[in-house]
């Protein structure tokens, strides 16, 4: 009986984790559509070729892979795609080494947050 309760709780936690993690990426992708001009200029400043195309590929990846995780569809594949996205995007947008003062602190926080998210993604892959 207690084992059944624990297993049910673990299953509920897994579903909630997928909803939160996948939902955060889908939301971020939708939010990035609104901020696309600024983001494309930031990507271009980092000398990434075809910044607008790169941005749209990232947006589509965030939305589709995020929704795949929410729906529980090919979770490991979606998680690996988002992990690759984080590996590329984190140093591009959280380049704290190029900044000073409060801006540096904010970028360090973003960098560390993305590392934590990557840990959650790896946990999701391990669970799948």
Q: State pTM to two decimals.
A: 0.88
| Mean of pLDDT values over 56-82 | 97
Residue 111, C-beta contacts closer than 8 angstroms, at least 6 positions apart: 90, 94, 96
Question: Dihedrals φ, ψ of 85, to 5°?
Answer: -60, -45
Question: Domain of 118?
Answer: 2-127
Residues 127, 11: Cα–Cα separation, whole Å: 11
- Could you read off the pLDDT of 94-124 as tens digits, one per residue? 999 999 999 999 999 999 999 999 999 999 9
Q: How many separate domains does the chain show?
A: 1
**pLDDT above 70 coverage of the chain, percent:** 94
Mean per-residue pLDDT of the chain: 93
Amino acid 128: pLDDT: 73
Contact 117, 86 (CB under 8 A): yes
Residues 89, 73: Cα–Cα separation, whole Å: 24
């Amino acid at each position: 009986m207690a084992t059944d309760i624990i297993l049910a709780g673990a299953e509920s936690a897994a579903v909630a984790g997928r909803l939160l993690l996948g939902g955060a990426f889908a939301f971020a992708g939708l939010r990035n559509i609104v901020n696309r001009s600024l983001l494309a200029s930031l990507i271009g400043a980092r000398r990434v070729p075809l910044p607008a195309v790169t941005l749209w590929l990232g947006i589509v990846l965030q939305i589709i892979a995020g929704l795949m995780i929410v729906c529980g569809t090919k979770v490991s594949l979606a998680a690996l795609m988002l992990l690759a996205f984080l590996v590329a995007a984190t140093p591009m947008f959280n380049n704290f080494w190029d900044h000073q003062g409060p801006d540096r602190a904010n970028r360090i926080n973003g960098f560390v947050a993305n590392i934590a998210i990557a840990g959650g993604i790896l946990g999701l892959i391990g669970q799948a």
